[in-house]
Chain A
Amino acid sequence: MGQLICVGMGELAISAYPGNDIACLGLGSCIAICAFDNRLKIGAMAHVVLPDSAGREAKNTAKYADLAIPLLTNELECVGSFMRDVQIILVGGASIFQPFSKTMDIGKRNYEAVKMHLKKTKLPIVKEDVGGTESRTIILNVKDGILRLRTVRTGDNVFHTFSKNGVYGR
């Protein structure tokens, strides 16, 4: 029987078990990097909290955008994924409260950092729901690659269904 794997702050989860769901709950300024390998039906999710480790050591290495992305690709490769089969979706990066200054806008900085580091991997971002002032929850069903998105005001909806073919290198 499958289970719901909740990815906490700075954590990364990966699953190939068809019954499993992987979720990031109550995202605010954090970014969920959702990866799906449609060939092997492997799902992964990283819960990025801050844009840059700046040399800091972290208990959870997915905490920082610059460390999370190499970790994500390594983990996927370890379970047999080819990067050409992997697609990415980004969710989060909100500013729930008006930031006191631009440098305090962690949500925006997280998003920019994640985009910058993902660019180096050439993994395609097929869809994103980022920014704004709303909190979000995402849940990925590993079996069929359906990603659901929940917000306080719009409720629970299918946000994306990963297509059958990867688009690596486009």
Chain B
Amino acid sequence: MTILRTDEERAAFQKIATECSLKCAEALGMFSGNALTVKAVNLRPVGMDDMMTLIDDPEETVVGVSLGFEGGIEGTVLSYFTLENAATLVETLMGKRPNNVEDFDEMAFSALGEAGNILVSAFLNALSICTGMEIMPTPPFVAIEMSYAVITGVALPLIADGGEILSLEADILPIDENQQNCISCRVFLIPTTESWEILRTKIVR
């Protein structure tokens, strides 16, 4: 099975992914105090057997913020930051930069949860507007772990029966290239198999 079956579906999802990414950039920009924009959005459906192709280094320490969503559709969204980008986020919020994993204390986790919450909520709001469905996020969970474990930890329960992840890689950059503290991220949209069918009918009309 593939979630994007035709060129028409791919184009429709690409348009929505771009809109959702712009909203994410806007939200992240407000959060970090920089005006951000999206340079490129790469949309890629990935099944369980190809999940390893999503990441370069399975052992890289990353920050994952996972939020479930419910309402018109159900599933999970994972926003995924490199440790460097997560440190920048924490520094922006709290004024103190964590230099290693041990420095990410309870306050830093809370800040990252809030950042992920804002980011994913922006994404889900945009998706909600595009589909005309009410989609509500559940509270966030934050993990600082190896990249492969973070992705599989979120995806496997939902795609074990043959579903797919929609990987959305967005280069989120400052509008003014002289600005520092650019924060880039990846978002993985993982609806249940039934929710993919609903999304398809709502998006490709």
Contacts and interface: CB of A to CB of B under 8 A. Distances in A.
Contacts of A25: 58-59, 146, 148
A60 to B, nearest CB: 7
A8 B51 CA distance: 10
Contacts, number: 83
Chain A at the B interface: SS class: loop
Nearest to B141: A97
Nearest to B154: A97
A10 B49 contact: yes
A72 interface: no
A134 B52 contact: no
Interface residues of A, number: 30
Nearest to A60: B49
B146 A99 contact: no
Interface in A1-35: 8-10, 25-30
B45 to A, nearest CB: 17
B94 to A, nearest CB: 21
A28 B152 CA distance: 7
Nearest to B150: A96
B80 to A, nearest CB: 12
Contacts of A50: 156, 160
A135 B150 contact: yes
A1 B49 CA distance: 30
A8 B145 CA distance: 18
Interface of B: 48-49, 51-52, 58-59, 61, 64, 66, 68, 101-102, 141, 143-150, 152-154, 156-157, 160
